[in-house]
């Protein structure tokens, strides 16, 4: 079992990583529940699992049995899979389910799923009755290394992603790398986009390991990879919890990546695929401008291709991509911050005039 303690100003909590953790989840949660003094579990306290249909099919029963064995009163809310469920409508449906169950502030909500379930459930937990304790059990690679850590929770509005949200940290995060065995390959590669990003911005060793791993080695080293990525995110988040400075480094590849996703109406590229393109495009340009060590973009292309991610796209319509960048809520004003690499593992924030962004695409 690997553990990481996330230390924030107003809260500290543990993240556990272990293969097979899901089999013992009831016992583990019971210890968190009593240790944190949320409530004593002897009187059959309510635990409400929020999950999606895909995850429920594989893990719903296992989690139910384990929680019931540990004396919890088990309830389950199952949503449709996919980004469409991160909506106001789904949020209100979830509030209504919680009301029907009779949830109180002494009960516990558990997000069992990918980033969609995590973000929606976390936001519901942060707002329902002004805040209910919750636990994250992330099941996609992206959720295990990124969205379950850092406290950002949100839902989308028809006019854009993550427009309504808050910072709300869980009581604990439980990561079982074994659940990745049932994840669709495209979502595995999607998560690899973010894994590679961590190597690019902060960890040369991770990056060079990723260049070498074949698919089998990748999976057998997954527990270490997840631990490394979570350690990087932990350090960045502890330094800049509310995302006003260093946390921006986590956005490497995202300025152009988001614009590509948006330009193709979120249909052609997954988030990780778009970030992969964004990392390569910006590094190729920054290398030409002598801001980045020669050969870095080629290394990024190599590691991306190694993990089934493309690095090149024909950006003929640069103006549309540029206007998609300008529409992004993070890019208001005359100046914008972009994240560049000096070298693999060494990233920095670079302020440019918004009009200069065209030079980077």
Sheet of 108-113, strand order: 2-7, 12-17, 172-175, 134-138, 108-113, 46-52, 73-79
Q: How far is the CB of 298 from ligand NAD (least distance, A)?
A: 27
Q: How far is the CB of 117 from ligand NAD (least distance, A)?
A: 6
CA atoms within 13 Å, Cβ hemisphere of 354: 15
Contact 231, 6 (CB under 8 A): no
Among residues 94, 103, 117, 248, the one that binds ligand NAD under rule CB under 6 A? 117
Binding status of residue 258 toward ligand NAD by CB under 6 A: no
Binding status of residue 142 toward ligand NAD by CB under 6 A: yes
DSSP-based three-state secondary structure for 233 = helix
CA–CA distance, 107 with 50 (Å, rounded to integer): 14
Among residues 8, 81, 308, 352, the one that binds ligand NAD under rule CB under 6 A? 81
Among residues 121, 136, 140, 331, the one that binds ligand NAD under rule CB under 6 A? 140
CA–CA distance, 169 with 123 (Å, rounded to integer): 10
DSSP 272-331: HHHHHHHHHHHHHHHHHTTSS-TTHHHHHHHHHHHTT---------HHHHHHHHHHSTT-
The site map against ligand NAD for 2-41 (x = CB under 6 A) is ----------------------------------------
Query: Which helix (DSSP H) or strand (DSSP E) does residue 188 occupy?
Result: helix 185-202
Stretch of residues binding ligand NAD (CB under 6 A), selected from 6-14, 97-105, 139-147, 219-227: 139-147
**Residue 134 β-bridge partners:** 109
Among residues 145, 175, 183, 218, the one that binds ligand NAD under rule CB under 6 A? 183
Residue (91 or 143) nearer to ligand NAD, CB: 143
Among residues 28, 46, 64, 86, the one that binds ligand NAD under rule CB under 6 A? 86
Question: Where does 124-239 show beta strands of DSSP type E?
Answer: 134-138, 152-157, 160-167, 172-175
Q: How far is the CB of 215 from ligand NAD (least distance, A)?
A: 17
Contact 223, 177 (CB under 8 A): yes
Among residues 24, 39, 58, 213, the one that binds ligand NAD under rule CB under 6 A? 58
Binding status of residue 61 toward ligand NAD by CB under 6 A: no
Distances (CA, A) of 9 to 78, 194, 241: 34, 26, 9
The answer to whether 55 is a known ligand-binding residue is no
Among residues 75, 123, 168, 187, the one that binds ligand NAD under rule CB under 6 A? 187
Q: How far is the CB of 342 from ligand NAD (least distance, A)?
A: 25
Residues that bind ligand NAD (CB under 6 A): 52, 54-55, 58, 81-83, 86, 113-117, 119, 139-140, 142-143, 146-147, 150, 152, 161-162, 179, 182-183, 187, 190
Binding positions = 115-119, 139-140, 152, 161, 194, 254, 271
Residue ranges of the binding site for NAD(+): 115-119, 139-140, 152, 161
Residue ranges at the known binding site for Zn(2+): 194, 254, 271
């Amino acid at each position: 079992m690997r553990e990481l303690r996330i230390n924030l100003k107003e809260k500290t909590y543990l993240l556990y990583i272990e293969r097979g953790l899901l089999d013992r989840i009831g016992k583990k949660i019971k210890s968190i529940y009593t240790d944190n003094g949320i409530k004593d579990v002897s009187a059959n306290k309510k635990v409400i699992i929020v999950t999606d249909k895909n995850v429920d099919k594989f893990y719903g029963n296992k989690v139910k049995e384990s929680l019931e064995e540990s004396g919890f009163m088990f309830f389950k809310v199952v949503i449709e899979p996919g980004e469409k469920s991160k909506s106001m409508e789904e949020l209100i449906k979830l509030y209504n389910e919680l009301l029907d169950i009779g949830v109180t502030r002494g009960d516990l909500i558990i997000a069992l799923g990918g980033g969609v379930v995590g973000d929606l459930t976390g936001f519901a937990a942060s707002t329902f009755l002004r805040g209910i304790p919750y636990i994250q059990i992330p099941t996609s690679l992206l959720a295990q290394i990124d969205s379950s850590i850092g406290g950002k929770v949100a839902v989308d509005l028809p006019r854009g992603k993550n427009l309504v949200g808050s910072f709300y940290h869980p009581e604990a995060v439980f990561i079982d790398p074994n659940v990745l065995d049932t994840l669709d390959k495209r979502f595995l590669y999607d998560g690899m986009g973010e894994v590679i990003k961590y190597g690019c911005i902060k960890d040369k060793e991770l990056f060079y390991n990723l260049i070498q791993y074949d698919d089998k080695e990748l999976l057998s080293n997954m527990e270490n990879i997840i631990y490394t990525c979570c350690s990087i995110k932990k350090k960045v988040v502890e330094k800049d919890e509310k995302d006003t400075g260093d946390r921006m480094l986590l956005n490497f590849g995202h300025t152009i990546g988001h614009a590509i996703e948006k330009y193709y109406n979120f249909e052609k590229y997954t988030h990780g695929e778009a970030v992969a393109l964004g990392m390569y495009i910006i590094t190729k340009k920054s290398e030409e401008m002598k801001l980045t060590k020669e050969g870095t973009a080629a290394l990024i292309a190599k590691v991306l291709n190694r993990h089934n991610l493309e690095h090149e796209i024909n950006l003929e319509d640069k103006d549309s991509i540029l206007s998609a960048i300008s529409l992004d809520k993070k890019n208001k004003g005359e100046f914008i911050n972009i994240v560049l690499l000096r070298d693999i593992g060494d990233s920095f924030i670079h302020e440019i005039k918004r009009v200069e962004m065209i030079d980077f695409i």
